[in-house]
Chains A and B, each alone.
Chain A
């Protein structure tokens, strides 16, 4: 089942054969147009909050909570963006987030792929227990561990370092990464490796030269999930870092909410800029995202 899904375009499965029933389904053109209009209307509803975020970020500072507000700001200004780009700290914050999320992704994919290869290619004692362990760890809620985590990180002298964030996010990304990659690897015929095995290739080399290219959609999808997980986290960033130049994007945005007042102007501009990288990441990876997601636990 999954094997077919990999090659096929998303959605082809549900499309009925075009020619055969065409006579019976008379209003097919009309229907397509109506469906398009419904999708368009829903798209407007879904995008409305984002539209509101962007248009408010280009209003002059005093007009953000004007009521009733015009749909479009009458006097747009890029002043808020100037504030964000004018600060060296923001550049630092953006770089921090890319670095932490990038390193997390690499670590989660590497460890996840090794484990998934072990699970999908070997029979060994304790395998059921291991699968139970992976599913079980996925249920651990982050908020339930922050206090011991804080103590642990301090003990190892990792408080206020990016390394602490990276290994934390990697640990939280691992269960899903292992589940996704294990099911993906299972769809790749083992015969492909056997010939290489005869050639004397080691397991690690096989993982790199055979599995990596074949499992690319699964690996990319897993990577996107890990990247997003670490890019979006606020809870651990708040607890494990303290200095200004260690901040990641969500923390940088939230620190603009002061005790007395909120710097809405700067916050909105930073929010817009902060949203761009994940949109770009999606655009780059979208080809693989749905086909690479075979829903770990679903098909066992």
Chain B
């Protein structure tokens, strides 16, 4: 083989698979968002941005967008606090076997299939579920009928966030651990010699070194949480009264329940656009961090 073509031969199989199975369908989705009467006998009609106009006129779209943002922001905060905190605790001085043991325990929720995560939390947060039993036996909630967490207008979103917080923090923790590992040990030693305390070492060594890593984690986590379909679908289905309706659910519902394929496609494109916006924003901040 000609030498100049060699690198292309290495990357070609992966590129072909990704182009055929990701880029092409995505392009087709964008294309679909500009048409009406898709998959119908009359044949598809080009309507320009009409699907988008229809989508933006739906109140549900704005509700879903707001819910998605709440869901993502709250999940990310929980993931960073729990995942980052645990990673810091796990990298502190302790016996190796103990570290392996605790790391295995704290990673467990990541290894549970999302469908099982949803089922477990529905079981736990049912009004006759384990969480209410526990609150009762601890004497916290004694009065009145116990709350149905996923079925309550005010509690459904917090319950969904808690579920996703539990299922999602380990990934943040793993990435924090990988990032913490790559901070050279001698930085800490030098700081110790200079008499820097724990807080100052964290503030002046760990945080700056972790900055770009944290941004990468936030970026990936935003992408993964924003597109999360399984958990809301299986726990609340968007209810009660659309209080947990998020964009992926709306996309799914428009296509498979309403058969509005054009609007569903427009909604899908909005997910992509918003994700791209966040990614661009994070990359810019990260670029600035890496330079400065």
Contacts and interface: CB of A to CB of B under 8 A. Distances in A.
Nearest to A112: B14
B166 A234 contact: no
Contacts of B272: 139-141, 144
A114 B14 contact: yes
Contact of B181 (A64, A235, A254, A290): A290
Contacts of A275: 111-113, 116
B103 A286 contact: yes
Contacts of B161: none
B53 interface: no
B213 to A, nearest CB: 5
* Residue from A50, A115, A148, A149 with most neighbouring chain B CB atoms (10 Å): A148
A198 interface: no
A42 interface: yes
B207 interface: no
B119 interface: yes
Nearest to A126: B8
A286 B105 CA distance: 12
From DSSP, what is the main secondary structure of chain A's interface residues?
A: helix
A134 B17 CA distance: 12
A151 to B, nearest CB: 8
A175 interface: yes
A139 B275 contact: yes
B180 interface: yes
Interface string B114-126: 1110011101101
Interface residues of A, number: 107
Interface size class of B (residues with CB under 8 A): 35 or more
6 contacts: A10-B90, A47-B108, A67-B132, A232-B114, A290-B177, A295-B178
Interface of A: 1-2, 4-5, 8-18, 20-21, 32, 35-36, 38-39, 42-43, 46-50, 52-53, 56, 64-69, 111-112, 114-115, 117-119, 121-122, 124, 127, 130, 133-135, 137-149, 151-152, 167-168, 170-172, 174-175, 178, 203, 228, 231-232, 234-235, 249-250, 253-254, 264, 267-268, 271, 274-275, 278-279, 281-283, 286, 289-291, 293-295, 297-299
Interface of B: 4, 6-11, 13-15, 17-18, 20-26, 28-29, 32, 86, 88-94, 96, 98-100, 102-116, 119-121, 123-124, 126-130, 132-133, 136-137, 146, 166, 174-175, 177-185, 188-189, 192-193, 201, 206, 212-213, 216, 219, 223, 226-227, 229-230, 234, 248, 251-252, 255, 261, 264-265, 268-269, 271-272, 275-276, 279
The 5 A-B residue pairs with the shortest CB-CB distance in the complex, in nearest-first order: A118-B10, A144-B268, A67-B128, A11-B91, A122-B7
Given A68-B132, A147-B32, 14 more contacts: A10-B91, A15-B188, A46-B106, A122-B7, A141-B275, A146-B255, A152-B24, A168-B21, A174-B18, A235-B230, A268-B123, A275-B116, A283-B104, A295-B175
